[in-house]
Homo-oligomer: A and B are copies of this chain.
């Protein structure tokens, strides 16, 4: 096969459909299916910008959690545990982009963002906004660190909720914050 590439074109179109319906297909299986070598399938995927099996699984799973499985959208970090109206736990992996090159310490706003978005997430309301916050950066955080934030509702009066957040890196506290969050619309999300 050469310049035209009719067989190639057909195979690639089928490849797209197959993977759209079933992201779990391995290159080896696809190769067997089309009667070509595994390398050909990899060339196809690379031309079509189709990622590898594990990435496909990941994104297929993300699509599932529509907005991280709760009403609050755009949570900074990964949600590990939550009991809406009570507490929540999230993890943030510090990447090199998050740190100052000078002293290799993570910029504070990342820790704040994690804590703040978690504080909003635990509120049992359709929409919630942070009214105010008092935060404390207790220890520097480095690249590669895993920051575990735990938010707990400490009091609630009408639309106004006080949420305390404590963030740790391996048991040592690196951040603390008290957030005052206002619920805009009550009711469950679904």
Pair B79/A21 contact, Cβ less than 8 Å = yes
Residue in contact with A170 in the complex, picked from B21, B22, B35, B79, CB distance below 8 Å: B35
CA separation between A149 and B100, bound complex, in Å?
56
Interface residues of A in 14-31 (CB under 8 A from B): 14, 17-18, 21-25, 29
Q: State whether A24 and B54 are in contact (beta carbons under 8 Å apart), knowing that A29-B93, A29-B146, A35-B170 are contacts in the complex.
A: no
Pair B91/A146 contact, Cβ less than 8 Å = no
Q: State whether A58 and B170 are in contact (beta carbons under 8 Å apart), knowing that A18-B80, A81-B17 are contacts in the complex.
A: no
Interface range on chain A (Cβ under 8 Å from partner): 20 to 34
Pair B148/A33 contact, Cβ less than 8 Å = yes
CA separation between A89 and B82, bound complex, in Å?
41
Pair B29/A61 contact, Cβ less than 8 Å = no
Q: Least Cβ distance of A114 to chain B in Å?
A: 14
Residues of chain A having any CB pair with chain B under 8 Å: 14, 17-18, 21-25, 29, 32-33, 35, 54, 57-58, 60-61, 64, 69, 78-82, 89, 91, 93, 145-146, 148, 170-171
